[in-house]
Amino acid sequence: MTDQSKTSEKPWGGRFSEPTDAFVERFTASVGFDQRLYHHDITGSIAHATMLAEVGVLTAAERDQIVEGLNGVKADIEAGNFEWSVSLEDVHMNIEARLTDRIGITGKKLHTGRSRNDQVATDIRLYLRDEIDVIAEELKRLQSGLLDVAEREADTIMPGFTHLQTAQPVTFGHHLMAWYEMLVRDAERLQDCRKRVNVMPLGAAALAGTTYPIDRAMTARLLGFDRPTENSLDSVSDRDFAIEFCSFAALLMTHLSRFSEELVLWTSAQFDFIDLPDRFCTGSSIMPQKKNPDVPELVRGKTGRVNGHLVSLLTLMKSQPLAYNKDNQEDKEPLFDTLDTVKGCLKAYADMVPAIRAKADSMRAAAKRGFSTATDLADYLVKKGVPFRDAHEIVGKAVAFGVAEQRDLSEMTLDELAGFSSVIAADVFDVLTLEGSVQARNHLGGTAPGQVRAAIARARQQL
Ligand code: ARG
């Protein structure tokens, strides 16, 4: 093959007098990773050709040939009969070249009135929109699983923590519903992001628009976009929508990472609050007794790369002049890896969460340690007329006594308790029980089992 024939192989080879350096060809190619856009690239091209025929730039016969040809290319790709060529750089030129191989000269008319700059921006948006819908469903599955476990565990008592020290008793259902609330916000952010993903840049062409009488509203309609974008320069260079998605993903992963941390702690022999089924754990090659919570650990670990991708995209866009720059080709790998990671983590969590088993006895025993009802005793004194600061001091003394004696407040005698304050009477034992403590926090957002059940019912309605 001569140099001349090699340069003219490139769709843009006309003005070049020597072939691309072999390394540069590989260095600049994106087909290795953007081929996953093939389906959306073809969908976009079919809509573009349909619109071109509608406005008279293509004949109906040309359009039909192109549409049939593109469907053939898609079938080839899906059947594995497609060899991606690095010398054709990216998914767009690979598909266009194959179309022309299939249908001849008409294939060369497809690119009329568009550029790869608006084409790639359109493809990513179409692809991301579909992936967002998949992620939204998976998120919903996880949320619904969480509600089921929360309902099952609405009465199960565990210690609530601040500073990871025993604070006050809570119900496990209430704790699970805290996770649920985080996911509600994630789901809202995802839908909000989708609105800005679902606008169509096609028609911006290279940067300034095109001289053909295109109908952008029609193409937008054909592709299910809410509307075409307003400004051609912005259309080809905007990647805010990908950054927004990665920002949603970073927060979601941050939440999953927090759940994970708790699951890891709770499965340990030291906490012993929950059990994860064997199918979500793995063993050790040396220590026969080990059952490791690999799924939560990996999810916690994968949060790092997702957070990193957000920073990659922000840094990619920082200082870019208008309009399209080749820098933007670097948007795909962080975005794609974010999508793959988030989908994998959500699937693992949606499958695993309903299988979490609470060890109620162990949780209860832990709630009994650490004087978790000390605030309840202080509130009891206040209700009998003791100022709160004095009540705090009195209970502090009682706790110090309990620490020395290794006994919980509920395990002291009435005489012992009354020794700390003369207002303490036999009814004190009602507030020192774990059940009494959680029952008493009976208001919107509180941990009382009835409130948790009501929160679950509201959540089910909204989901
Ligand atoms: N592969 C390119 C990308 O991902 C497509 C757009 C190329 N445009 C260009 N003018 N070289 O951004």
Domains and CATH numbers, the chain: 3-112 (1.10.275.10), 117-157+169-205+226-364 (1.20.200.10), 368-462 (1.10.40.30)
From ligand 1's centre to the CA of 227, what distance in Å?
A: 23
Q: Where are the alpha helices (DSSP H) in 153-239?
A: 172-197, 216-222, 232-237
| SS3 call for 80 | coil
* Minimal-distance CA residue to ligand 1 atom 12: 329
* Per-residue pLDDT tens digits of the chain, which is 463 residues long: 333 345 557 888 889 999 999 999 999 999 999 999 999 999 999 999 999 999 999 999 999 999 999 999 999 999 999 999 999 999 999 999 999 999 999 999 999 999 999 999 999 999 999 999 999 999 999 999 999 999 999 999 999 999 999 999 999 999 999 999 999 999 999 999 999 999 999 999 999 999 999 999 999 999 999 999 999 999 999 999 999 999 999 999 999 999 999 999 999 999 999 999 999 998 888 888 888 999 999 999 999 999 999 999 999 999 999 999 999 999 999 999 999 999 999 999 999 999 999 999 999 999 998 899 999 999 999 999 999 999 999 999 999 999 999 999 999 999 999 999 999 999 999 999 999 999 999 999 999 999 999 999 999 999 9
Query: Which residues form ligand 1's pocket by a CB distance below 6 Å?
Result: 30, 34, 90, 116-117, 120, 324, 326, 328-329
Q: State the catalytic residue, choosing from 17, 163, 285, 443.
A: 163
* Minimal-distance CA residue to ligand 1 atom 2: 329
Contact (CB, 8 A) for 337 and 308 = no
| SS3 call for 158 | strand
From ligand 1's centre to the CA of 89, what distance in Å?
A: 9
Kindly tell me the sign of the dihedral angle through the C-alpha atoms of 20, 22, 27, 31: positive
257 is catalytic: no
From ligand 1's centre to the CA of 330, what distance in Å?
A: 10
309 is catalytic: no
* Minimal-distance CA residue to ligand 1 atom 4: 329
Contacts of residue 381, defined as CB under 8 A and 6 or more positions apart, other chains included, come to 390, 391, 394, 395, 421, 423, 424
Q: State the catalytic residue, choosing from 5, 8, 268, 284.
A: 284
